[in-house]
Chains A and B, each alone.
Chain A
């Protein structure tokens, strides 16, 4: 899985993962406010029920009494008190929601495009990345998001932000992370076979590092050996959403043993999956589709440099 850290289960409290923004902390306060009201009321209701169960069991002989069928005071009380509590929760939830929604004017803007099944990030300086979102710490960041094909939803649990992405329309979220590190991003609106692999990573870094990262076009991979870079891109670019490495069939063919194998195409032709074919399959995936698979792969032309494509080919070669 495209997992870089253990940011959810083993951080934070029993119920919530670590919060890395001020607003997230406030959301958590409301969560626990409702939580404790619920727990106390629940114990109350169950406790009273249990008491009645024991006290008024049929086997306990008791004197006949007049049946009480209503009591206006108590009925008004248990209508009004919960209503007031609910209004408090409503108000609190709404005001925090407005804070979550209203981005400060000076926020850094990053464009996010969701498509089956990967996340594209476009920065103002022209840098674009897939599956890796870098933001500076202690700085407001606004994401302007849109979907290419179907609905998606962008979710960063540690920041308590989430918003649907819709084709032909823009939606936004904003946050101000107060802690550096790497955090998980999910797609939370069902979008098909690769939905659960439509993941990305959020990297919160100090401003100077962020500037370097931007200047290098999204982190430099120049020194990385090709096959190693290929392994990184396999996850980062979302190849893993459709191509397994263990030979099992997913949306697309597995990469295990695929290099230099003979492939039957939907057109009836047979090709050898050599460097040229793989390159073509990456930049123009609709052209020669292997028989038995749907023609759903998006093109990676413009998203991958020549070196990146070579790296992926090397990585595929290594899958024997």
Chain B
């Protein structure tokens, strides 16, 4: 679909590229490379989780039972929905539907915020019961390795929440650019890349939910 109407801004290919295709392909490849490093970033945490779950299965079972699987499941649903709205946003951008793109991005942000609110209440209820990272842990637990589980839990969910926050910032940024009419069938690279990032963040959570909440 060609760029029509006056509400869109024509994209200028950066001076060092020969054409728009080269620019798009480079950006996409770069983003995939960046995603590769993100996977490796989280992988060490998953490895740590695997080792200690293998070493102390009972402690992990006990610790996991202290988490609210209902909240976790709710949040999983929220994030999967947000992934869907993100897909729709990218799709709308590709078909030059400015208004729709904007709205889908807005819904995505609201879902992300909802996720964080639920997460906040989850953390608070843990703190209320004295479940803190190991140095401040003062809850009752049968197995002495329970704090390790929560050490990993807080680090990994904390880093994931940080990724969500960064995601919200990125979506706000592309919403502003969408409103200005920068994205259309001829140029939608940033929307596509942020979408990619957002799916990655969701994917991490989809792994985290069963590993942390559904032990046993």
Direct contact of A and B (CB under 8 A): no
Residues of A within 8 A of B (CB): none
